[in-house]
Amino acid sequence: MLVFFYLFAAAAVLGALGVLLLRNPVYCALSLVATMSALGGVFILLNQEFVAAIQILIYAGAIMVLFLFVIMLLNLRSDEQFIARWNPGKVVGIAMALVILAQLVGVFTSASATLGPAGEYPAERIAKEGAVEIVGGLLVTQYVLPFEVASILLMVAIIGAVVIAKRQIAKPSQEGR
Amino acid sequence: MSFTLSAADFLSVLPESILFAMGMVVLVFEMFGTGRDTRNLAYLSLLSLLVSGFALHRLAGRGITGFGGSITADPFAIVLGMIFLLVVALIVLVSIRYLHDRGVGHGEYYALLLFACGGMMLMVSSTDLLTIFIGLEILSISSYVLCGLIQGDLRSNESALKYFLLGAFATGFLLYGMVLLYGATGSIRLPEIAAAVNRSEVRGNPMIWYGLGLILVGFGFKIALVPFHMWTPDVYEGAPTPVTAFLSSAPKAAGFGALIRILTEGLGALTPEWSQVLWVVAALTMTVGNALALQQDNIKRMLAYSSIAHAGYILVALVAGGRDSLGGVLFYLLAYAFMNSGAFAVLILASSPVRERVTFEDYRGYGYVEPALALAMVVFMLSLTGIPLTAGFAGKFQIFKSAIDKGYVWLAVIGLLNSVVSVYYYLRMIVVMYMQRPTAEHPPERVVPSVPLYVAVAASALGVLYLGVFPAGWLELSVRSVTSLLAGG
Amino acid sequence: MANYLWLIPALPLLGFVVNGLLGRRLGHAAVSLLGPGVVGLSLVLSALAFIDMVNAPELRLSQSLFTWIEAGSFSVPVAFTVDRLSGLYILIVTGVGFLIHVYSVGYMHAEEGYHRFFAYLNLFIFFMLLLVLADSFLLLFVGWEGVGLCSYLLIGFSFERDAAAKAAKKAFVVNRIGDFGFIVATLMLFSVFGTLQIDAVLAQAPARLTAGGTLVTALTLLLFLGATGKSAQIPLYVWLPDAMEGPTPVSALIHAATMVTAGLYMVARLSALFVLAPATLTVIAVVGAATAFFAATIGLAQNDIKRVLAYSTVSQLGYMFLAMGVGAFSAGIFHVMTHAFFKALLFLGSGSVILALHHEQDMQKMGGLAKRLPITTFTFIIGTLALTGFPLLFAGFFSKDEILWQAFASPAGHPGLWAVGALTALLTAFYMFRAVGLTFFGASRVDPHHARHIRESPWTMTVPLLLLAVLSIGGGWIGIPHLLGGPAGLPNVFEHYFDGFFARLPAEAAQHAASTELLLMAVSTVGALFMMWVAFRLFSRDLAPAARLRERFAGAHRLLAAKYWIDELYEATVVQPIRWTSDRVLWRIVDAGIIDGIVNGVGYAARFLGGALRLTQSGVIENYAVGIAIGAVAILWYLVF
């Protein structure tokens, strides 16, 4: 199990690094797909097959396909760099990221770092009752409010996208200004 | 597993639900609307805010909780909710002409404001991290879009993009902090987190501390505390002025509300540590905000930096803690809402699509061109400075009084010194309006009258003066409202 | 009983509102009637209140209006108190204020914004009365800040001149530094006493605070910092001379008679607190004496008539603080009163001269005006004699002598303090008679262009001058020392007026022989008389000897004329570093990239949204993100490790 975990984790981290470091936007997007899929693997290891399936379907599938479409429609050439040249800010930024990484390693390896009490749904119970039933049940009972409100959140995001897109359609002459 | 929704559940989120529902109604109306004239939508939005406020008012004193305790309509949430509704109402008033003049035919604007308002109310009435986070994101995403709403305005677009990218960055910190807290305590509910943290062995868990730190960073960004403030002036300057007015008061109030709830109800046991961190942050925030405001020629930028400084003053009260201080926060938030919205309303009223008046120079001799408007601006500037008989003084007094009372003498001294420095740039506005003649490049012009804007300016000015001369009522209410927070936590 | 007290400040407030909002429509005549009228009514009520107070059983009246701030156990009512100190002050404020209002009708009649001027003046009177009548620290602070604000508005009234606007700003900012001390002290008092009622704090002070302890010393020093701001003492005196850019009635009202005495009022009112801190009292005495001397030396070399008077004000305020510092609160307040009369008189007299000469303030371009402006000359000389302490007849003599004697004889006194005070008296005599000589006597050096038009001022200006002249002479007689008054059967009314009002120093005064008092009085008086004679000789005829003298001491003269370069020193050591730090350090480094952001960010960001997805360089955002990360690391490090 542990071997698989490290395998998936390494894949996720590598994918994320690829998003940051690769120059061709298409490769970047594909790296993101790799990361998302690897995360799906991690969910499987946690006995969350349902979440894993959703993760891969939605992120690796739907959303990333959309990303790729957009990138291709915009017809970006591979020499369009996403990465600025090295500058002091970037060096400090990377240093800070490394410090945060070190801090996190310190936190999680610390002897006194303990997890809180286990939840009400151990793996056996999930296996018995079925992940879909449990997640679905929780969403419409205990977490019905966040679930419903999340739909407002998504709608706001959609409105935002529409407003910005509509503007481009309404006033094409504004482009490139 | 039995689960039923009771009337209390629905009642507890009624004010938010009204706003969300009306937001959608506004969207639908916009589809069938009459082209670019969005004024009816504005009045519909005002009506929604009023109805929501009425619902909120009816909730007061009933102590309703809903959804297994994850929503509470306690006095703290209700008072803050009223402040949000008031700010958004003022923003709607100041937006009507602005949008109309600039041909921004987006009815979505008002819908987004309503959604944002609902998100803020959700943030402060929620007692679990998940709902707080969703409320915060509704607010944030609405804000990003509102920033970039003006067509073809590069500044507006840039502002939206910067806000979005950095906001997403900060959200990452916040969410990770919440996750660590959940990991360490096994719950996302604040009361349960508090119970876990009160056990001494959990208190030594570095995950708790790391989670706390990340949450402070996340909220620090939303409230624009130093050193997480750098986005503020760029975003505020670029955003459409009514949106800037909105961003510089309401979301900060919501951020403070949620932060106070998390820190007192959830992490009250860690007070000595987080208040030390916030001590330093408060001192930095006040000082850097003020020092940078000194340099600005653009009033929107000046107000942006000054809003940072004011967040620092409010943070002083959070550091000091206790009933009087936290009551002072509520008082100050309302006072700031009035004076800040008022100042922006004057800027909006004085500007036209042909000529934006956003630098100090634009207001040369304004006191003689528009005496009433200039006088209102004087009231707002004096209040921001903290001159007695204005709301700003009463608020600052309450905050620094309770800080010194709690033994935070040096922090109060830093705050008061900053307040002295701030005279310099607020005064500049009065100087240019009354003590300089208009020049050829900056000719005086009468404003185009607009009833909603006049209403906004007058309401803000009266609010500032009322809170300054008769602060007792609101102050008492504020102090009483935080009592439940401290007792219940 | 005393339920009319609220009207005393309310009337000027009404005047402010009406003049401010409707003044333009009301017209010149109505404003001329209303502006002084409300203050006159206020004066009548003040007199009534004073009489009621003297007859009241506990020698005090009070009226509570409503609760201003209330939070938990903390509550501040809006309430007014008239006792012996505030009773005297409201008489001075409304009395001198009324005369100056009347004078302004004549002085300002041709100015633009006439109604605005009266609105500001009325507002000032309102805040000053609020300050004086306040029965809590918070209300006192409202008045305290309010007078600062009005002072700012009035100094900058003739904003056409750049200097006026600058001076106004300087006054406000310097005052705010002082206010900072005051508000910190107020908040500390609250945390110690749990109340902000002045009476309650003073009553509990001896029990709650250790005499001579650190806390009370810190508190009183902070309060004194506030007083140095308002009352123009070292190190915060710099705003007052510049404030002379305001119209002359303003200089008379605010910068001589009333606002600048607010600091003294506060110290006197809190005498019970100050006597608990001997160290602070010593500081006050030394600062007062030093300011008195320092400002007097600067006054020697000024050529602007109003600046001479301004430095003399700073110097006289120093005297008053000297009195407070040696525990002679009553003597200090006595000098506040007499000074209000003669300094208002002098300023109004100078205003009369300035108006006659078409706003010429340089004494080198005056001379020989005595014949053309008889009333002004006569009253100005009376004011000068009062200020310089010409013996026996004039108000200033008695109050100044009382202070000098206390500086010597009080338990907190010191011969050194007396010596500085006496020396200052000589300098004062010199520079004031220099001013009289240059302005009114000798050959005329007036611009011939204006010389033909010199004409005595209208009655609205001369009548106040005459009335103030009467007060300058008579005002001192209520405080005749026993030494002189005793034999003639004249009681020292003033001393007994404050019997038991001010806190006393713990130590008993050493007994001094009457002959010592007489000797000291004689020394300072004869010295002053001699200096008057010298100065008058030098400056009222041929100016050549004076010019030779000046060349002989060119270095010293330049130092004094440049006011010891104190303004430049502050500019270099305080203002510039703050500006530099803000500009270079914070702006350029802490918020680096903002400027770049404007230049670079706009284009790229816009194109990104425009559809080109060409976000090749988001350096700005990157830097901001790095800033967030640094902050995050610091906080996390502190919390976890």
* Helix pair angle (B14-31, B108-125), 10° resolution: 170
Q: Do B166 and C625 touch (CB under 8 A)?
A: yes
Which chains contact C through at least 3 pairs of Cβ atoms less than 8 Å apart?
A: A, B
Residue C393 to residue C342: CA distance in whole angstroms: 13
Establish if C632 belongs to a structural domain.
yes
ipTM surpassing 0.90 = no
- Whether A116 and chain B come into contact, CB under 8 Å, resolves to yes
Q: What is the mean pLDDT of chain C?
A: 81
**What single-letter DSSP state applies at residue C250?**
H
Confidence (pLDDT) at A150: 92
Q: Are residues C150 and C121 in the same domain?
A: no
Residues 621 to 640 of C: which have CB under 8 A from any A CB?
622-623, 625-626, 629-630, 632-633, 636-637, 640
Enter the DSSP assignment of C573.
I
Indicate the pTM of the whole model: 0.85
Residues of chain C with C-beta less than 8 angstroms from the C-beta of B166: 621, 624-625, 628
Which of B6, B19, B138 is the best mutation test for A, with the most CBs of A within 10 A? B138
**Residues C19, C105 share a domain:** yes
**Do C287 and C241 share a structural domain?**
yes
Q: B111 vs chain A: nearest CA distance in angstroms?
A: 9
SS (H, E, C) B142-209: HHHHHHCCCCCCHHHHHHHHHHHHHHHHHHHHHHHHHHHHHHHHCCCEHHHHHHHHHCHHHHCCHHHH
Domains of chain A (ranges plus CATH)?
1-83 (1.20.120.1200)
pLDDT at C66 over 70: yes
Nearest C-alpha of chain B: how many angstroms from C632?
A: 6
Residue-wise pLDDT for C165-206, tens only, equals: 788 888 888 888 888 889 889 888 888 888 888 988 988 888
Strands B71-72 and C61-71: unpaired
φ/ψ (deg, to 5) at C414: -160, 140
The answer to whether C91 and C50 are in contact (CB under 8 A) is yes
In a domain, C560, yes or no: no
Of the partner residues A106, A118, A160, the one whose CB lies closest to the CB of residue B144: A160
How would you write the pLDDT of chain B (489 residues) with one tens digit per residue? 456 778 888 888 999 999 999 999 988 887 776 555 677 888 999 999 999 999 999 998 888 888 888 899 899 999 999 999 999 999 999 998 888 887 766 678 899 999 999 999 999 999 999 999 999 999 999 999 898 877 666 777 777 888 888 899 999 999 999 999 998 988 899 999 999 888 877 888 889 999 999 999 999 999 999 888 888 888 888 888 999 999 999 999 999 999 999 999 999 888 988 999 999 999 999 988 888 888 788 898 899 889 999 999 999 999 998 888 999 999 999 999 999 999 999 999 988 887 888 888 888 888 888 888 989 999 999 999 988 889 999 999 999 988 988 889 899 999 988 888 888 889 888 888 887 777 777 777 788 888 999 999 999 999 999 999 888 888 888 988 888 787 643
Structure token pair of residue C524: 């300072």
Q: B70 in contact with A at a CB cutoff of 8 Å?
A: yes
Is residue C113 domain-shared with residue C149, that is, in the same domain?
Answer: no
Compare all CA atoms of chain A with the CA of C607 and give the residue at the minimum distance. A176
The C-alpha angle with vertex B457 and arms to B456 and B459, in degrees rounded to 5, equals 65
Show residues of chain B in contact with C620, CB under 8 Å: 162, 234
Question: Does C180 share its domain with C239?
Answer: yes
A118 and B186 in contact by Cβ < 8 A?
yes
C575 occurs within a structural domain: no
Residues C173, C121 share a domain: no
Nearest CA in chain B to A112: B205
C93 & C177 share domain: no
In this structure, the answer to whether residues C148 and C115 fall within a common structural domain is no
Q: Clarify whether residues C98 and C228 are in a common domain.
A: no
- Report how far residue A75's alpha carbon sits from residue A57's, in angstroms, rounded to the nearest whole number: 26
B contacts of C635 (beta carbons < 8 Å) = 213, 216-217, 277, 281
Phi and psi for B428 in degrees, rounded to 5? Answer: -55, -40
**B353 phi/psi in degrees, rounded to 5:** -55, -30
- Tell me which residue range forms the domain holding C390: 136-503+510-552
Instruction: Provide the angle, in degrees to the nearest 10, between the axes of the packed helices C305-325 and C415-440.
Output: 160
Closest CA in chain C for residue A77: C614
Residues of chain B contacting residue A171, judged by C-beta atoms under 8 Å apart: 151-152
Residue C180 forms part of a structural domain: yes
Å from C264 to nearest chain B CA? 21
**CB-based burial, C394-419: b 16+ in 10 Å, e otherwise:** bbbbbbbbbbbbbbbbbebbbeebbb
Burial class (CB in 10 A: 0-12, 13-18, 19+), A73: exposed
Number of domains in chain C: 3
A140 vs C: CB within 8 A: no
What chains are in contact with A, requiring at least 3 Cβ pairs below 8 Å?
B, C
Contact C640 B210 (CB under 8 A): yes
8 A C-beta contact, residue B125 and residue B73 = yes
Please check whether residue A106 touches C, CB under 8 A: yes
- A119 contacts in chain B (CB < 8 Å): 186
Please check whether residue C69 touches A, CB under 8 A: no
Amino acid sitting at position C15:
G
Q: Is residue C388 part of a domain?
A: yes
Q: Which residues of C touch A164 (CB under 8 A)?
A: 609
Q: Which residues of B64-98 are buried (b: 16+ CB within 10 A; e: fewer)?
A: bbbbbebbbbbbbbbbbbbbbbbbbbbbbbbbbbb
Q: In the structure encoding, which two tokens stand for residue C408, read together? A: 């010597």
Q: Are B314 and B80 in contact (CB under 8 A)?
A: no
Is A17 in the B-facing interface, judged by CB distances under 8 Å?
no
Strand, coil or helix: what is C360? Answer: coil
Q: Tell me which residue in A116, A160, A162 faces B183 most closely, judged by beta carbons.
A: A116
Give the C window 154-183 contacts with B, CB below 8 Å: 156, 159-160, 164-165, 168-169, 172-173, 176-177, 179-180, 183
- Facing residue for C624 by CB, picked from B166, B416, B436: B166
Closest by Cβ to A107, choosing from C607, C623, C640: C640
